[in-house]
Structure 1
Protein backbone atom coordinates (compact mmCIF):
# COMPACT_ATOMS: atom_id res chain seq x y z
CA UNK A 1 0.00 0.00 0.00
CA UNK A 2 1.22 3.53 -0.73
CA UNK A 3 0.19 7.15 -0.96
CA UNK A 4 1.80 10.02 -2.88
CA UNK A 5 5.12 9.82 -1.10
CA UNK A 6 4.80 7.16 1.57
CA UNK A 7 4.95 3.44 0.90
CA UNK A 8 3.89 1.01 3.58
CA UNK A 9 4.36 -2.71 3.95
CA UNK A 10 1.26 -3.92 5.82
CA UNK A 11 3.30 -6.70 7.43
CA UNK A 12 5.28 -4.08 9.33
CA UNK A 13 2.24 -2.20 10.59
CA UNK A 14 1.63 -2.91 14.28
CA UNK A 15 -1.57 -2.04 16.14
CA UNK A 16 -0.79 -2.08 19.86
CA UNK A 17 -2.00 -0.73 23.18
CA UNK A 18 -1.07 2.76 24.25
CA UNK A 19 1.57 2.85 26.99
CA UNK A 20 2.41 5.63 29.39
CA UNK A 21 5.75 6.41 27.75
CA UNK A 22 3.98 6.83 24.38
CA UNK A 23 2.12 9.93 25.55
CA UNK A 24 4.38 12.66 24.15
CA UNK A 25 4.66 11.10 20.68
CA UNK A 26 0.96 10.27 20.55
CA UNK A 27 0.16 13.83 21.59
CA UNK A 28 2.36 15.18 18.79
CA UNK A 29 0.19 13.20 16.36
CA UNK A 30 -2.93 14.80 17.88
CA UNK A 31 -1.38 18.28 17.59
CA UNK A 32 -0.38 17.69 13.98
CA UNK A 33 -3.83 16.39 13.09
CA UNK A 34 -5.65 19.28 14.73
CA UNK A 35 -3.50 21.95 13.12
CA UNK A 36 -3.70 20.38 9.66
CA UNK A 37 -7.51 20.70 9.85
CA UNK A 38 -7.95 24.09 11.50
CA UNK A 39 -4.79 26.10 10.83
CA UNK A 40 -5.03 25.82 7.07
CA UNK A 41 -6.24 27.49 3.88
CA UNK A 42 -9.47 25.53 4.34
CA UNK A 43 -9.91 27.06 7.79
CA UNK A 44 -9.51 30.60 6.47
CA UNK A 45 -11.94 29.95 3.60
CA UNK A 46 -14.45 28.53 6.07
CA UNK A 47 -14.30 31.70 8.14
CA UNK A 48 -14.73 33.88 5.07
CA UNK A 49 -17.95 32.01 4.24
CA UNK A 50 -19.53 33.25 7.46
CA UNK A 51 -21.14 36.69 7.63
CA UNK A 52 -19.29 37.46 10.85
CA UNK A 53 -15.91 37.44 9.07
CA UNK A 54 -16.97 38.21 5.49
CA UNK A 55 -18.55 41.59 6.28
CA UNK A 56 -15.39 43.12 7.82
CA UNK A 57 -13.40 41.91 4.80
CA UNK A 58 -15.93 43.47 2.43
CA UNK A 59 -15.97 46.79 4.32
CA UNK A 60 -12.15 46.86 4.47
CA UNK A 61 -11.77 46.19 0.74
CA UNK A 62 -14.40 48.81 -0.15
CA UNK A 63 -12.70 51.41 2.07
CA UNK A 64 -9.25 50.72 0.62
CA UNK A 65 -10.52 50.79 -2.95
CA UNK A 66 -12.47 54.01 -2.35
CA UNK A 67 -9.37 55.68 -0.90
CA UNK A 68 -6.81 54.39 -3.39
CA UNK A 69 -8.74 53.34 -6.52
CA UNK A 70 -6.11 50.63 -6.74
CA UNK A 71 -6.95 46.97 -7.28
CA UNK A 72 -3.48 46.00 -6.07
CA UNK A 73 -3.89 47.84 -2.76
CA UNK A 74 -7.34 46.31 -2.35
CA UNK A 75 -5.99 42.80 -2.92
CA UNK A 76 -3.18 43.59 -0.52
CA UNK A 77 -5.67 44.63 2.17
CA UNK A 78 -7.70 41.48 1.61
CA UNK A 79 -4.54 39.32 1.82
CA UNK A 80 -3.58 41.06 5.06
CA UNK A 81 -7.05 40.38 6.48
CA UNK A 82 -6.76 36.68 5.53
CA UNK A 83 -3.34 36.55 7.19
CA UNK A 84 -4.82 37.98 10.40
CA UNK A 85 -7.53 35.29 10.30
CA UNK A 86 -4.78 32.69 9.92
CA UNK A 87 -2.98 34.06 12.99
CA UNK A 88 -6.26 33.96 14.92
CA UNK A 89 -6.69 30.28 13.98
CA UNK A 90 -3.17 29.55 15.23
CA UNK A 91 -3.95 31.19 18.56
CA UNK A 92 -7.28 29.40 18.95
CA UNK A 93 -5.72 26.06 18.00
CA UNK A 94 -2.82 26.51 20.44
CA UNK A 95 -5.19 27.33 23.31
CA UNK A 96 -7.41 24.34 22.49
CA UNK A 97 -4.45 21.96 22.22
CA UNK A 98 -2.99 23.20 25.50
CA UNK A 99 -6.25 22.46 27.32
CA UNK A 100 -6.77 19.08 25.64
CA UNK A 101 -3.18 17.97 26.30
CA UNK A 102 -3.60 18.81 29.99
CA UNK A 103 -6.86 16.81 30.17
CA UNK A 104 -5.30 13.87 28.34
CA UNK A 105 -2.28 13.77 30.62
CA UNK A 106 -4.45 13.89 33.74
CA UNK A 107 -6.72 11.10 32.49
CA UNK A 108 -4.11 8.87 30.86
CA UNK A 109 -3.58 6.51 33.79
CA UNK A 110 -7.32 6.10 34.23
CA UNK A 111 -7.66 5.16 30.57
CA UNK A 112 -4.81 2.67 30.74
CA UNK A 113 -6.18 0.94 33.84
CA UNK A 114 -9.86 0.88 32.81
CA UNK A 115 -10.87 -2.42 31.19
CA UNK A 116 -13.76 -0.63 29.46
CA UNK A 117 -11.34 1.69 27.67
CA UNK A 118 -9.44 0.92 24.48
CA UNK A 119 -6.51 3.16 23.49
CA UNK A 120 -4.69 1.85 20.42
CA UNK A 121 -1.74 3.08 18.41
CA UNK A 122 -0.78 2.26 14.84
CA UNK A 123 3.00 1.96 14.71
CA UNK A 124 5.06 1.59 11.55
CA UNK A 125 8.80 0.97 11.85
CA UNK A 126 8.83 2.54 15.31
CA UNK A 127 6.85 5.62 14.28
CA UNK A 128 3.36 6.30 15.62
CA UNK A 129 1.22 7.01 12.55
CA UNK A 130 -2.26 6.62 14.01
CA UNK A 131 -4.27 6.50 17.21
CA UNK A 132 -7.78 5.91 18.52
CA UNK A 133 -9.30 5.93 21.97
CA UNK A 134 -12.72 4.64 22.96
CA UNK A 135 -13.90 4.84 26.53
CA UNK A 136 -16.99 4.59 28.67
CA UNK A 137 -18.84 7.85 29.27
CA UNK A 138 -19.13 8.24 33.03
CA UNK A 139 -22.54 9.90 32.83
CA UNK A 140 -23.85 7.29 30.36
CA UNK A 141 -22.45 3.78 31.09
CA UNK A 142 -23.97 2.25 27.94
CA UNK A 143 -22.39 4.88 25.67
CA UNK A 144 -18.79 4.68 24.46
CA UNK A 145 -17.02 7.89 23.49
CA UNK A 146 -14.69 7.80 20.49
CA UNK A 147 -11.85 10.29 20.59
CA UNK A 148 -8.21 10.87 19.68
CA UNK A 149 -8.84 9.31 16.28
CA UNK A 150 -5.99 10.58 14.12
CA UNK A 151 -3.83 9.32 11.28
CA UNK A 152 -0.58 10.94 10.25
CA UNK A 153 -1.02 12.97 7.08
CA UNK A 154 1.48 10.95 5.05
CA UNK A 155 -0.29 7.69 5.96
CA UNK A 156 -3.83 8.76 5.08
CA UNK A 157 -5.55 6.74 2.39
CA UNK A 158 -3.67 3.56 3.27
CA UNK A 159 -6.35 1.94 5.39
CA UNK A 160 -4.77 2.74 8.76
CA UNK A 161 -7.77 4.77 9.89
CA UNK A 162 -10.19 2.00 8.91
CA UNK A 163 -8.21 -0.59 10.89
CA UNK A 164 -8.20 1.60 13.99
CA UNK A 165 -11.89 2.44 13.73
CA UNK A 166 -12.88 -1.20 13.22
CA UNK A 167 -10.85 -2.21 16.30
CA UNK A 168 -12.58 0.49 18.35
CA UNK A 169 -16.05 -0.57 17.18
CA UNK A 170 -15.29 -4.26 17.79
CA UNK A 171 -14.21 -3.33 21.33
CA UNK A 172 -17.49 -1.47 21.84
CA UNK A 173 -19.49 -4.52 20.78
CA UNK A 174 -17.40 -6.82 22.97
CA UNK A 175 -18.17 -4.76 26.07
CA UNK A 176 -21.81 -4.40 25.02
CA UNK A 177 -22.04 -0.67 24.65
CA UNK A 178 -25.31 0.31 23.02
CA UNK A 179 -24.00 3.45 21.35
CA UNK A 180 -20.74 5.01 20.20
CA UNK A 181 -20.67 8.81 20.20
CA UNK A 182 -18.20 11.47 19.15
CA UNK A 183 -18.04 15.15 18.33
CA UNK A 184 -16.17 16.87 15.52
CA UNK A 185 -16.34 20.05 13.49
CA UNK A 186 -17.51 20.90 10.01
CA UNK A 187 -13.91 21.26 8.85
CA UNK A 188 -13.07 17.62 9.61
CA UNK A 189 -14.76 16.53 6.39
CA UNK A 190 -12.74 13.38 5.58
CA UNK A 191 -13.22 11.88 9.04
CA UNK A 192 -16.95 12.65 8.98
CA UNK A 193 -17.31 10.82 5.67
CA UNK A 194 -15.52 7.77 7.10
CA UNK A 195 -17.79 7.73 10.15
CA UNK A 196 -20.87 7.84 7.92
CA UNK A 197 -19.64 4.83 5.94
CA UNK A 198 -19.64 2.86 9.20
CA UNK A 199 -23.21 3.85 10.00
CA UNK A 200 -22.77 6.90 12.21
CA UNK A 201 -25.68 9.35 12.12
CA UNK A 202 -24.75 13.01 12.12
CA UNK A 203 -26.41 16.12 13.47
CA UNK A 204 -25.24 19.69 13.96
CA UNK A 205 -25.93 20.34 17.62
CA UNK A 206 -23.91 23.37 18.57
CA UNK A 207 -22.58 26.42 16.81
CA UNK A 208 -19.53 27.83 18.55
CA UNK A 209 -18.30 31.36 17.99
CA UNK A 210 -16.49 30.11 14.91
CA UNK A 211 -17.12 26.47 13.92
CA UNK A 212 -20.21 24.32 13.74
CA UNK A 213 -19.86 21.30 16.02
CA UNK A 214 -21.33 17.96 14.95
CA UNK A 215 -22.37 15.03 17.08
CA UNK A 216 -22.17 11.60 15.43
CA UNK A 217 -23.75 8.50 16.97
CA UNK A 218 -23.66 4.85 16.05
CA UNK A 219 -26.28 2.50 17.51
CA UNK A 220 -25.64 -1.24 17.59
Structure 2
Protein backbone atom coordinates (compact mmCIF):
# COMPACT_ATOMS: atom_id res chain seq x y z
CA UNK A 1 0.00 0.00 0.00
CA UNK A 2 1.41 3.35 -1.00
CA UNK A 3 2.10 6.00 1.60
CA UNK A 4 -0.61 8.64 1.64
CA UNK A 5 -0.40 12.05 3.26
CA UNK A 6 -3.27 13.91 4.84
CA UNK A 7 -3.64 17.67 5.05
CA UNK A 8 -6.62 18.92 7.11
CA UNK A 9 -8.18 22.06 5.67
CA UNK A 10 -8.12 24.58 8.49
CA UNK A 11 -10.90 26.57 6.84
CA UNK A 12 -13.12 23.85 8.35
CA UNK A 13 -11.62 24.02 11.87
CA UNK A 14 -13.23 25.66 14.89
CA UNK A 15 -11.33 28.95 15.17
CA UNK A 16 -12.78 29.63 18.63
CA UNK A 17 -10.40 26.94 19.88
CA UNK A 18 -7.71 26.96 17.22
CA UNK A 19 -4.75 25.96 19.45
CA UNK A 20 -6.66 22.90 20.66
CA UNK A 21 -7.77 22.03 17.13
CA UNK A 22 -4.20 22.09 15.83
CA UNK A 23 -2.91 20.16 18.84
CA UNK A 24 -5.56 17.46 18.37
CA UNK A 25 -4.96 17.19 14.62
CA UNK A 26 -1.21 16.87 15.16
CA UNK A 27 -1.77 14.20 17.81
CA UNK A 28 -4.02 12.35 15.36
CA UNK A 29 -1.22 12.25 12.79
CA UNK A 30 -1.93 15.09 10.36
CA UNK A 31 1.00 15.38 7.97
CA UNK A 32 0.50 19.05 7.08
CA UNK A 33 -2.14 21.78 7.17
CA UNK A 34 -4.00 23.17 4.18
CA UNK A 35 -4.75 26.89 4.05
CA UNK A 36 -7.38 28.27 1.67
CA UNK A 37 -6.46 31.83 0.75
CA UNK A 38 -9.39 33.47 -1.07
CA UNK A 39 -9.45 37.13 -2.05
CA UNK A 40 -13.13 37.53 -2.97
CA UNK A 41 -12.16 38.26 -6.59
CA UNK A 42 -10.72 35.12 -8.14
CA UNK A 43 -13.39 33.20 -6.21
CA UNK A 44 -16.57 34.81 -4.87
CA UNK A 45 -15.87 34.01 -1.24
CA UNK A 46 -13.49 34.98 1.57
CA UNK A 47 -11.50 32.55 3.66
CA UNK A 48 -8.35 32.73 5.77
CA UNK A 49 -6.56 36.03 6.28
CA UNK A 50 -2.92 36.89 6.88
CA UNK A 51 -3.35 37.03 10.66
CA UNK A 52 -4.85 33.54 10.55
CA UNK A 53 -1.77 32.25 8.75
CA UNK A 54 0.51 33.96 11.27
CA UNK A 55 -1.40 32.39 14.16
CA UNK A 56 -1.32 28.93 12.59
CA UNK A 57 2.40 29.19 11.84
CA UNK A 58 3.04 30.11 15.49
CA UNK A 59 1.04 27.10 16.68
CA UNK A 60 2.66 24.35 14.61
CA UNK A 61 5.90 23.25 13.03
CA UNK A 62 4.05 21.03 10.56
CA UNK A 63 4.30 22.01 6.89
CA UNK A 64 1.75 24.58 5.73
CA UNK A 65 0.35 24.47 2.19
CA UNK A 66 -1.43 27.57 0.90
CA UNK A 67 -3.99 27.21 -1.87
CA UNK A 68 -3.69 30.62 -3.49
CA UNK A 69 -7.13 31.53 -4.84
CA UNK A 70 -5.84 35.06 -5.33
CA UNK A 71 -5.60 37.12 -8.51
CA UNK A 72 -2.07 38.15 -9.55
CA UNK A 73 -0.59 35.58 -7.20
CA UNK A 74 2.95 36.51 -8.24
CA UNK A 75 2.67 39.67 -6.12
CA UNK A 76 2.42 37.64 -2.92
CA UNK A 77 5.13 34.99 -3.26
CA UNK A 78 7.63 36.70 -0.96
CA UNK A 79 4.95 37.41 1.65
CA UNK A 80 3.80 33.82 1.90
CA UNK A 81 7.06 31.97 1.29
CA UNK A 82 9.42 34.17 3.27
CA UNK A 83 7.49 36.30 5.75
CA UNK A 84 4.62 33.97 6.67
CA UNK A 85 6.64 30.76 6.54
CA UNK A 86 4.37 28.76 4.24
CA UNK A 87 6.08 25.64 2.90
CA UNK A 88 4.07 24.93 -0.27
CA UNK A 89 2.20 27.33 -2.54
CA UNK A 90 -0.45 26.00 -4.91
CA UNK A 91 -1.11 28.40 -7.80
CA UNK A 92 -3.87 28.58 -10.41
CA UNK A 93 -2.59 29.27 -13.94
CA UNK A 94 -5.72 31.36 -14.53
CA UNK A 95 -4.78 33.68 -11.63
CA UNK A 96 -1.09 34.23 -12.36
CA UNK A 97 0.11 35.64 -15.69
CA UNK A 98 3.70 35.07 -14.52
CA UNK A 99 3.31 31.57 -13.15
CA UNK A 100 6.69 30.27 -14.36
CA UNK A 101 8.43 33.21 -12.70
CA UNK A 102 6.39 32.56 -9.56
CA UNK A 103 7.47 28.91 -9.43
CA UNK A 104 11.11 29.92 -9.86
CA UNK A 105 10.78 32.46 -7.06
CA UNK A 106 9.18 29.89 -4.76
CA UNK A 107 12.04 27.49 -5.39
CA UNK A 108 14.54 30.29 -4.77
CA UNK A 109 13.07 30.51 -1.27
CA UNK A 110 13.60 26.74 -0.96
CA UNK A 111 9.88 26.10 -0.81
CA UNK A 112 7.63 23.71 -2.74
CA UNK A 113 5.26 24.71 -5.52
CA UNK A 114 2.20 23.19 -7.08
CA UNK A 115 -0.11 23.95 -9.97
CA UNK A 116 -3.87 23.72 -9.43
CA UNK A 117 -6.14 21.97 -11.90
CA UNK A 118 -9.70 23.18 -11.38
CA UNK A 119 -12.64 21.18 -12.75
CA UNK A 120 -12.69 23.48 -15.79
CA UNK A 121 -8.89 23.40 -16.31
CA UNK A 122 -7.56 20.97 -18.90
CA UNK A 123 -4.38 18.97 -18.50
CA UNK A 124 -3.18 20.44 -21.82
CA UNK A 125 -3.31 23.92 -20.31
CA UNK A 126 -0.77 23.05 -17.60
CA UNK A 127 1.24 20.18 -19.09
CA UNK A 128 4.26 22.35 -19.85
CA UNK A 129 4.47 23.30 -16.16
CA UNK A 130 4.81 19.75 -14.88
CA UNK A 131 8.61 19.78 -15.01
CA UNK A 132 8.63 22.76 -12.61
CA UNK A 133 6.29 21.61 -9.87
CA UNK A 134 6.44 19.36 -6.84
CA UNK A 135 2.67 18.88 -6.63
CA UNK A 136 -0.39 18.93 -8.84
CA UNK A 137 -3.47 19.86 -6.80
CA UNK A 138 -6.63 18.57 -8.47
CA UNK A 139 -9.85 20.23 -7.39
CA UNK A 140 -12.72 17.74 -7.33
CA UNK A 141 -15.36 20.40 -6.56
CA UNK A 142 -15.87 23.95 -7.78
CA UNK A 143 -13.68 26.50 -6.06
CA UNK A 144 -14.14 28.29 -2.79
CA UNK A 145 -16.89 26.62 -0.79
CA UNK A 146 -16.99 23.67 1.61
CA UNK A 147 -19.75 21.07 1.67
CA UNK A 148 -20.05 20.47 -2.10
CA UNK A 149 -20.59 17.20 -3.98
CA UNK A 150 -17.68 15.39 -5.61
CA UNK A 151 -17.57 15.89 -9.39
CA UNK A 152 -17.25 12.36 -10.75
CA UNK A 153 -15.86 13.38 -14.15
CA UNK A 154 -12.70 14.65 -12.46
CA UNK A 155 -11.71 11.06 -11.65
CA UNK A 156 -11.07 10.51 -15.36
CA UNK A 157 -8.74 13.51 -15.35
CA UNK A 158 -6.88 12.13 -12.34
CA UNK A 159 -6.34 8.82 -14.13
CA UNK A 160 -4.92 10.69 -17.13
CA UNK A 161 -2.44 12.47 -14.81
CA UNK A 162 -0.79 9.26 -13.59
CA UNK A 163 1.60 8.85 -16.56
CA UNK A 164 2.66 12.51 -16.16
CA UNK A 165 3.27 11.93 -12.46
CA UNK A 166 5.54 9.02 -13.27
CA UNK A 167 7.38 10.97 -15.98
CA UNK A 168 7.89 14.23 -14.08
CA UNK A 169 8.03 12.89 -10.51
CA UNK A 170 5.43 15.16 -8.92
CA UNK A 171 2.81 14.15 -6.37
CA UNK A 172 -0.93 14.34 -6.96
CA UNK A 173 -3.10 15.91 -4.26
CA UNK A 174 -6.91 16.01 -4.34
CA UNK A 175 -9.18 18.56 -2.69
CA UNK A 176 -12.96 18.69 -2.44
CA UNK A 177 -15.59 16.34 -0.97
CA UNK A 178 -12.89 13.79 -0.16
CA UNK A 179 -14.76 11.08 1.75
CA UNK A 180 -13.28 7.83 3.12
CA UNK A 181 -14.63 6.04 0.03
CA UNK A 182 -12.87 8.54 -2.24
CA UNK A 183 -9.62 8.15 -0.32
CA UNK A 184 -9.75 4.41 -0.92
CA UNK A 185 -10.70 4.78 -4.60
CA UNK A 186 -8.25 7.54 -5.49
CA UNK A 187 -5.43 6.11 -3.41
CA UNK A 188 -5.69 2.92 -5.44
CA UNK A 189 -5.42 4.95 -8.66
CA UNK A 190 -2.20 6.62 -7.50
CA UNK A 191 -3.17 9.81 -5.65
CA UNK A 192 -0.61 10.73 -2.99
CA UNK A 193 -2.19 13.46 -0.87
CA UNK A 194 -5.67 14.23 0.41
CA UNK A 195 -7.01 17.55 1.66
CA UNK A 196 -9.49 16.68 4.40
CA UNK A 197 -12.60 18.73 5.13
CA UNK A 198 -16.11 18.00 6.34
CA UNK A 199 -16.55 14.86 4.19
CA UNK A 200 -14.00 12.84 6.12
CA UNK A 201 -12.71 14.67 9.19
CA UNK A 202 -14.42 17.76 10.57
CA UNK A 203 -17.81 18.00 12.32
CA UNK A 204 -17.87 14.29 13.14
CA UNK A 205 -18.87 12.55 16.36
CA UNK A 206 -15.56 10.69 16.47
CA UNK A 207 -12.36 12.33 17.65
CA UNK A 208 -9.64 13.22 15.16
CA UNK A 209 -7.41 10.67 16.90
CA UNK A 210 -9.87 7.96 15.91
CA UNK A 211 -10.63 9.16 12.37
CA UNK A 212 -7.20 9.84 10.90
CA UNK A 213 -5.64 6.43 11.67
CA UNK A 214 -8.66 4.77 10.04
CA UNK A 215 -8.26 6.91 6.92
CA UNK A 216 -4.59 5.99 6.72
CA UNK A 217 -5.45 2.30 6.64
CA UNK A 218 -7.75 2.62 3.63
CA UNK A 219 -6.48 0.89 0.50
TM-score (norm 1): 0.31
Bigger radius of gyration: 1
Higher helix residue share: 1
Q: TM-score, structure 2 length as denominator?
A: 0.31
The structure whose residues are more often strand, as a share, is 1
